[in-house]
Amino acid sequence: MFESLTLAPPDKILSLSVMYRNDPRAEKMDLGVGVYKDATGATTIMKAVREAEKRLYDGQTTKTYVGMGGDDGFNKGMIRLVFADSVSADRLFSCQTAGGSGALRTIAELLKKARPDTTVWLSDPTWANHAPIVHAAGLKTATYPYFDAATGSVRFEAMIEGLKSAKAGDTILLHGCCHNPTGANLTLDQWKIVADLLVERGLFPFVDLAYQGFGDGLDEDAASVRLLAGIVPEMAVASSCSKNFAVYRDRVGAVLLLGKDAEATKIAGSQALSVTRVLYSMPPDHGAAAVRIVLEDPALYEAWKTELEEMRSRMLNLRKGFAEALRQQSNSSRFDFIADHRGMFSRLGITEAQVDALREKFGIYMVGDSRFNVAGLKEDKLEDLAKAVVSVL
Ligand code: LMR
């Protein structure tokens, strides 16, 4: 059986962690995979989540199945967290998934059932796993222009022109906030223009919301989704708790669906559950149950928000500090865009050979397209890093 197989290529993002771990150099720097790190380089468990896990441990009396959609309280909490009161509750459905990736795959499979000939349009560039996930569900992809590497900003007019090539019934995958890998985001005015275009052309919005709370704030980062919800008849959102609750390995995410009315929502939700039933039957409970406890307890919720806000503002300061260090070392404004971007990532805009040189000479690890994880930066190493970057230009 297996003799027909050849070795799968290493994952462009996750393989970096292995290389980093095996690098013996003390001064090495991990700017690869999107995991938040504090000033000491540790990825700690958030205090509110820790407390919720304690309560879970003390109160849990059974490990019997929860149900196909996972934890009801979690699902209600996720609807509130993402949509707030932007649209009536009977038009919204949520089911818990195995992380944001599980949500993406479930939505892709749902689209395949609903409209097998839909083309899913991805931003150029986008997260390295988007196209593989969509293709695995048997759907076609196309790309729309998004990022201008020369200016470090969104090519908005080109994006709109590109989206006009999509045909009615196609799906547009959008990053709700904190665009991965570029960190360049749409303004709310631009979201409004996109939303109107989607309605005018009969295009279906599929939003990846993996970094809510890491950009401009919890509500600010969901403003795109809430704006869309007030304008478009239907949409799907893949939400992840991996980063904002720091529950990476517990695999916590949600499929959120907006239907045109209560009946359509119920039908779409039932089909989403029949997708997950054959993918993995039921989602893992532990992490989502802990997130539910945080979302339902006002004191824990406030503590979580405060900690998340500290993480967000630390990343913003690192962005400013790194842009400033690069300005000084390069004697140019070439990298100023880093301070304007939001979220966990930006692209330095250097070549793959230069990225390789940073790794080989200095033990600095980033993705081959020069995407770096802002949270992997260290306050006291910004100057060294900027020097290293400038040395390979
Ligand atoms: C990333 O983009 O680094 C994260 O979303 C982790 C992953 O699964 O790739």
Strand, helix or coil for residue 269: helix
User: pLDDT digits over 142-200, tens only?
Assistant: 999 999 998 999 999 999 999 999 999 999 999 999 999 999 999 999 999 999 999 99
Name, in order, each residue with C-beta under 8 angstroms of 203's C-beta and a sequence gap of 6 or more: 163, 166, 168, 169, 170, 171, 172, 197
CATH number of the domain at 337, please: 3.90.1150.10
- Alpha carbon distance 113, 380 (integer Å): 52
The answer to whether position 246 is within a domain reads yes
What is the number of other CB atoms lying within 10 angstroms of the CB of residue 163? 19
- Residues 131, 235, single domain; the answer is yes
Q: What angle do CA 286, 61, 283 make, to 5 degrees?
A: 30
- Residues 40, 117, single domain; the answer is no
From the list 158, 173, 166, 236, the residue with the least C-alpha distance to 202 is 166
Lateral strand order in the sheet of 253-258:
92-97, 253-258, 235-240, 204-209, 171-175, 119-124, 140-145
- Residues 79, 203, single domain; the answer is yes
Query: Of all helices (H) and strands (E), which one includes residue 159?
Result: helix 156-163
181 Cβ closer than 6 Å to some ligand 1 atom = no
34 Cβ closer than 6 Å to some ligand 1 atom = yes
The protein residue whose alpha carbon is closest to atom 4 in ligand 1 is: 34
Among 276, 298, 320, give the residue marking a domain's end: 298
125 Cβ closer than 6 Å to some ligand 1 atom = no
The answer to whether position 165 is within a domain reads yes
- Residues 34, 99, single domain; the answer is no
35 Cβ closer than 6 Å to some ligand 1 atom = no
From the list 340, 321, 347, 344, the residue with the least C-alpha distance to 246 is 344
State mean pLDDT over 238-263: 98
Among 298, 329, 361, give the residue marking a domain's end: 298
pLDDT at 12: 87
pLDDT at 174: 98
pLDDT category at 387 given cuts 50, 70, 90 is very high
The answer to whether position 339 is within a domain reads yes
User: pLDDT digits over 258-317, tens only?
Assistant: 999 999 999 999 999 999 999 999 999 999 999 999 999 999 999 999 999 999 999 999
CA 264 to each of CA 268, 269, 286, 343: distance values in angstroms, whole numbers, following the listed order: 6, 9, 31, 34
Tell me the CA–centroid distance for residue 33 and ligand 1, in Å.
6
The answer to whether position 54 is within a domain reads no
CATH number of the domain at 224, please: 3.40.640.10
pTM of the model: 0.96
Cα 76 from chain centroid? 20
- Residues 24, 85, single domain; the answer is no
- Residues 287, 356, single domain; the answer is no
127 Cβ closer than 6 Å to some ligand 1 atom = yes
Tokens of 194: 């996109």
| ipTM score for this prediction | 0.93
The protein residue whose alpha carbon is closest to atom 9 in ligand 1 is: 13
- Residues 32, 153, single domain; the answer is no
The answer to whether position 78 is within a domain reads yes
By residue range, what is the domain housing residue 196?
A: 60-298
Tell me the CA–centroid distance for residue 211 and ligand 1, in Å.
11
The answer to whether position 319 is within a domain reads yes
Catalytic amino acids? Answer: 127, 208, 210, 243
Provide the angle, in degrees to the nearest 10, between the axes of the packed helices 286-296 and 298-330. 100
- Residues 65, 129, single domain; the answer is yes
Pocket test for ligand 1, best of 15, 20, 33, 36 (most atoms within 8 A of CB): 33
pLDDT at 379: 94
- Residues 246, 361, single domain; the answer is no
With beta carbons less than 8 A apart as the criterion, state whether 307 and 48 touch: yes
With beta carbons less than 8 A apart as the criterion, state whether 90 and 76 touch: no
Indicate which atom in ligand 1 lies nearest the CA of residue 242: 5
For the chain, how many structural domains are there in total? Answer: 2
Q: At 211, phi and psi to the nearest 5?
A: -135, 35
- Residues 167, 191, single domain; the answer is yes
User: pLDDT digits over 99-129, tens only?
Assistant: 999 999 999 999 999 999 999 999 999 999 9
Tokens of 380: 């006291």
- Alpha helices for 26-129 (secondary structure H): 47-59, 72-83, 99-114
- Residues 14, 95, single domain; the answer is no
The answer to whether position 82 is within a domain reads yes
- Residues 253, 363, single domain; the answer is no
The answer to whether position 53 is within a domain reads no
Query: Of all helices (H) and strands (E), which one includes residue 119?
Result: strand 119-124
With beta carbons less than 8 A apart as the criterion, state whether 128 and 16 touch: no
Q: How far apart are the first and last CA of the chain?
A: 48
Tell me the CA–centroid distance for residue 168 and ligand 1, in Å.
31
With beta carbons less than 8 A apart as the criterion, state whether 261 and 238 touch: no
253 Cβ closer than 6 Å to some ligand 1 atom = no
Among 242, 265, 298, give the residue marking a domain's end: 298
User: pLDDT digits over 197-221, tens only?
Assistant: 999 999 999 999 999 999 999 999 9
Which residue bears the tokens 């839909």? 118
